Structure 1
Amino acid sequence: MTSPERRAGGIPPVLLLPAALGLLFLLLPLVALLVRTPWGDLGAHLSTPGVLQALRLSLVSAGLATLLCLLLGVPLAWVLARAEVPGTRLLRALVTVPLVLPPVVGGLALLLLLGRRGLVGQHLYAAFGVSLPFTTAAVVLAEAFVAMPFLVIAVEGALRGADRRYEDAAATLGAGRWTTFRRVTLPLVAPGISAGAVLCFARALGEFGATLTFAGNFPGVTRTMPLAVYLTLESDPEAAIVLALLLLLVSVVVLVALRGRWVGGGTP
Structure 2
Amino acid sequence: MDWNHFLDPIGLSIQISVVASILVFAASLFIAWRMAKARFWGKALFETVLLLPLVLPPTVVGFVLLVVLGRRSWIGKAYESLFGGPILFTWEAAVIAAAVVAFPLAYRTIKTGLQGVDADLENAARAMGASEWQVFRYITVPLSARSLASGYILGFCRGLGEFGATLMVAGNIPGRTQTIPTAIYVASDGGSMTMAWAWAGSMILLSFLLLLVVDRISKDR
Return the TM-score normalized by structure 2: 0.93
Report deviation, 1:83.
Answer: 1.9
Structure-to-structure mapping, 1:35-184, within 5 angstroms: 44=1, 47-126=2-81, 129=84, 131-184=86-139
Report deviation, 1:258.
Answer: 4.3
Distance 2:122 2:185 in 1: 49
Report deviation, 1:110.
Answer: 1.1
Partner of 1:198: 153
Select the structure with the greater relative contact order (CA < 8 A; seq sep ≥ 6): 2
Report deviation, 1:264.
Answer: 5.2
Q: Which runs of 5+ in 1 are unaligned?
A: 1-43
- Among candidates 171, 190, 197, match of residue 241 of structure 1: 197
Look up the equivalent residue of 2:89 and give its one-letter code.
F
Return the TM-score normalized by structure 1: 0.78
Aligned length, in residue pairs: 220
RMSD: 1.6
Report deviation, 1:107.
Answer: 1.3
Look up the equivalent residue of 1:149 and give its one-letter code.
P
Q: Which runs of 5+ in 2 are unaligned?
A: none
Look up the equivalent residue of 2:23 and give its one-letter code.
L
- Deviation track 1:176-216 (CA, whole Å, cap 9, x = no partner) reads 11111111111111111112111111111110000000101
Partner of 1:207: 162
Contact 1:111 1:118 in 2 (8 A): no
3-state SS of paired residue (2:147): helix
Report deviation, 1:130.
Answer: 5.1
Look up the equivalent residue of 1:207 and give its one-letter code.
E
Contact 1:103 1:208 in 2 (8 A): yes
Determine whether 1:252 maps to 2:208.
yes
Distance 1:244 1:118 in 2: 36
Q: Percent identity, please.
A: 36
- Deviation track 1:10-64 (CA, whole Å, cap 9, x = no partner) reads xxxxxxxxxxxxxxxxxxxxxxxxxxxxxxxxxx3xx444210110001111111
Partner of 1:221: 176
- Deviation track 1:54-89 (CA, whole Å, cap 9, x = no partner) reads 100011111111100011111111222122221111
Q: 1:170 and 1:120, CA in 2 relative to 1: closer, same or farther beyond 3 A?
A: same
Q: 1:128 and 1:137, CA in 2 relative to 1: closer, same or farther beyond 3 A?
A: closer
Contact 1:171 1:177 in 2 (8 A): yes
Look up the equivalent residue of 1:85 and give its one-letter code.
F
Contact 2:6 2:195 in 1 (8 A): no
